[in-house]
Amino acid sequence: MLFALLLGMALHFLMEDTRCLPGIDFAARVVLRVGVALLGVRITFDQVSGLGLGAVLWIAAGVAAAICVGLLAGRLGPGGTRFGLLSGGAVAICGASAAMAIAAVLPRDAKSERDTIIVVVTVTALSTLAMVLYPMLAAALGMTDHAAGLFLGGTIHDVAQVVGAGYSISPEAGDTATIAKLFRVALLMPVVLAIGLACRRGGTGAGAGAAPLPLFVLGFAALVVVNSLGLVPGAVASGLSALSGWCLVTAIAALGIKTSLKALTEVGAAPLLLMLGETVFLALWVAAGLWLGV
């Protein structure tokens, strides 16, 4: 996604060609929603139940707490409520994918694309850094493979980095980390739904006044249910998962095209520090849960 973003930003001049605008907008909106919906094919209820009730509840509470921290910090700081929700959701759930899904239902303004790009770049960088540092931290704290998997899956932002970090420790840690991470991905549906409904109730969200349930959220939920029932063949699930990745890459490239590099340089350090703080908060939350024996 980072390469797609950089490539898109290099093609920002295409925004001056009115013939390109419909295609760019289609990729940034419609293709994005398709990609998010197809994420549901990666998740089953059985995978989540294998983590244990205590771990599931603690991770879910951590997701909610991280979003609330982001929202509160955004309101109190220069970023604003919109940036707080975007950053908090990205850190809490699944990185760039969550940021783009939440952006799809938030009110749009002159800073919409810029805020989304900032979150995507920062959360990707933090996730890559965590992939390197967190396994060493887990070893230094003497975590078992299962505990290390829960820590990595409950804290690292992007799925790919969770997989890389988990399997660098052991197969058990990798499996546990992947399942814990996919549970966080599953929480994308209720979070986006809640934000979308709140925006529509206020008449400010993207598509305010439209159907109360965003179609891509319904598609995500339906695929989770169908996949949990074992109705999706393995080859089909693998193909849809790959298609989801390509849709998200296409969408982030389109967002890059819509974003000016000059606009990004005017942001300052505050949003970056906010996301670093959210990342540290989530890591401390999950570590505290493991220490309490959840």
Q: What would the pLDDT profile of 145-184 be if each residue is shown by its tens digit?
A: 999 999 999 999 988 788 888 888 998 898 899 889 888 9
The rounded mean pLDDT for the chain is 85
Q: What is the pLDDT of residue 210?
A: 39
Residue 55: pLDDT band by 50, 70, 90 thresholds? very high
Between the alpha carbon of residue 146 and those of residues 51, 113, 172, 175, the distances in Å are 10, 39, 7, 9
Q: What is the pLDDT of residue 86?
A: 93
Q: What is the pLDDT of residue 244?
A: 87
**Amino acid identity, residue 15?**
M
Q: What is the pLDDT of residue 240?
A: 92
Domain that holds residue 255: 2-290
Name the one residue in this structure whose structure tokens are 């970056």.
272
Reduce the DSSP state of residue 203 to 3 states and report it. coil
In the 8-state DSSP scheme, what is residue 293?
T
**Higher local confidence (pLDDT), 128 or 1:** 128
What would the two tokens of residue 198 be?
Answer: 């709140």
Indicate the helix (H) or strand (E) that contains 18: none
Q: How do residues 68-84 score in pLDDT, each as one tens digit?
A: 999 999 888 777 888 99
Share above pLDDT 70 across residues of the chain, in percent, rounded to a whole number:
92
Q: What is the pLDDT of residue 202?
A: 60
CB 256 within 8 A of CB 117: yes
Q: Does the pLDDT value for residue 204 go beyond 80? A: no
Q: What is the pLDDT of residue 134?
A: 95
- The C-alpha atoms of residue 189 and residue 40 are separated, in whole angstroms, by 9
Average pLDDT over residues 257-266: 70
Q: What is the pLDDT of residue 69?
A: 94
Q: Is the dihedral of CA 194, 283, 1, 15 positive or negative?
A: positive
Please tell me the total count of domains within the chain.
1
Q: What is the pLDDT of residue 208?
A: 43
Q: CB under 8 Å to 243, separation ≥6 — which residues?
A: 35, 38
